[in-house]
Amino acid sequence: MISFPARFGLGDPAWLDPAITAVGILISLIAAVVFYKLIFPLILRVTQWTPTDLDTRMLSATRWPLTMAIVILGVYLSVVITLDLDTGQRDQADTIAGLLGIVLGVLVVVALFSNAMDWYLENLAARTHHLVDLRLFPLLRRVSVVIIYGLGALLILDLLDINISPLIAGLGIGGLAVALALQPTLANLFAGTYVMTEGVITPGDYIELEGGVSGYVVEVGWRSTRIRTWRNNLVIVPNNRFAETIITNYQRPALAVNVWLQCGISYDSDLYHVERVCREVMDDVLDTNAHAIKEYGGWFGFDNFGDSNVNFWLFVQAKDRWGSFELQTALMQALHHRFKNEGIVINYPVRSLQFPKEWGPEALLERNGQEAGGAGSGDREPEEGGAGTEASRRSSSRRSPRTLHVSQEDSGPEADVE
């Protein structure tokens, strides 16, 4: 094989090939320095005219890998072209260059991916206050970096003529075994991802679970969700159970909470007057209470004819959950005070019983008297001795009938029973 200097008529001295190789390496180093110090800054200046700094970050992440790639390419070309290498040496040079190229490629991909994630977290997620992105993307970045490094390692092994098929099969079987062993943990992990990506539960929300647990959400983690109850206790709910239960979020879709107050008034009340009084009370409370939303207004409606009262409801809206308690208290106080001044009665539970004619109070009293007289005439003489008299007295007290006290008006058999 004709050497590189002999092709240009320079002869073939022993020292000439290494000298040309060294010159080629020196040229590649100078080219790398020029690229790093002069060319790359000019490229970065162009990116300053773009509306975002994402392209600047992405290019900055590739600065060192591209510089090293220029050096590696220069060294490889200098060695392969100028030196008289046999087939084995040429294969070794190709293998080394390929390994370095894979390493640089993996570093470039990892740097680009990490910088893109950082840019998103610092800009979009921070502006829109996406807590889900702030918690999900760091984990996604770690997992993605591990996957990229793993793929790079497999490519290096394949380049070294190492059979990676058994390794891939072993990783599959091992991954399946690990997945089965960590099934509860993985279930909580995926459920936590689902809870955070849904965005319906965020720290600070007041929620109530189907089982009756209620409180403020403290943290939504990967394994569990922490809830602080009104007793100031911490309840930890695994995410797989949290994702399957029915949840009531009292702060979604808005902070405003509706206040629905039920009440009832006597059947003797004037319903038109009651409605007018209730609307005046609602208007006054909406004007004076700081927790009420005046624009929402107050709503009134009769509900049904109950056992003791004509039932109705009042409907207003508070600014938040704590304000709903204050607003409901103020509304009840004002309504009770106004009813008292207007003479509107809220009845206690009362029942009215109607008897047939033959079951009126006089008939009952007469029947009770007859039963009492008959029982007295039919009694046997007490036996001699104190024990017999005492036993007869106890038996008589056990068998004596109760008397029902009934009051009846002159107009009919209807009576109120206490």
> What would the pLDDT profile of 81-121 be if each residue is shown by its tens digit?
877 777 888 888 888 888 998 999 999 998 888 888 888 77
Distance of CA 62 to the CA centre of its chain: 39
Say which residues have a Cβ less than 8 Å from residue 302's Cβ, sequence separation at least 6.
271, 275, 310, 311, 312
> Is the peptide bond preceding residue 184 cis, with omega within 30 degrees of 0?
no
Residue 396: what pLDDT? Answer: 43
pLDDT of 61 strictly over 70: yes
**pLDDT, greater one: 352 or 232:** 232
User: Look-up: residue for tokens 């600047």?
Assistant: 56
Residue 263: what pLDDT? Answer: 93
List the single range of 1-5, 209-213, 259-263 with lowest mean pLDDT. Answer: 1-5
Determine the Cα–Cα distance for residues 48 and 400; give it in Å rounded to an integer: 107
> What would the pLDDT profile of 213-229 be if each residue is shown by its tens digit?
889 998 887 778 889 99
Q: Please check whether residue 269 is in contact with residue 344, taking contact to mean a CB–CB distance below 8 angstroms.
A: yes
Q: Please check whether residue 272 is in contact with residue 318, taking contact to mean a CB–CB distance below 8 angstroms.
A: no
Determine the Cα–Cα distance for residues 278 and 262; give it in Å rounded to an integer: 12
Say what percent of the chain tops pLDDT 70: 72
List the single range of 45-49, 62-66, 164-168, 260-264 with lowest mean pLDDT. Answer: 164-168
> What would the pLDDT profile of 254-291 be if each residue is shown by its tens digit?
888 899 999 999 998 999 999 999 999 999 999 999 99
Give mean pLDDT, residues 176-198: 69
The counts of H helices and E strands in the chain are: 15, 11
End-to-end, the C-alpha distance of the chain in Å comes to 126
Residue 414: what pLDDT? Answer: 43
Distance of CA 174 to the CA centre of its chain: 33
Residue 9: what pLDDT? Answer: 55
Q: Which two tokens stand for residue 293?
A: 């939303």
The residue among 191, 209, 219 whose CA lies nearest residue 247 is 209
- Quote the pTM value: 0.49
- 248 forms bridges with which residues in the sheet? 208
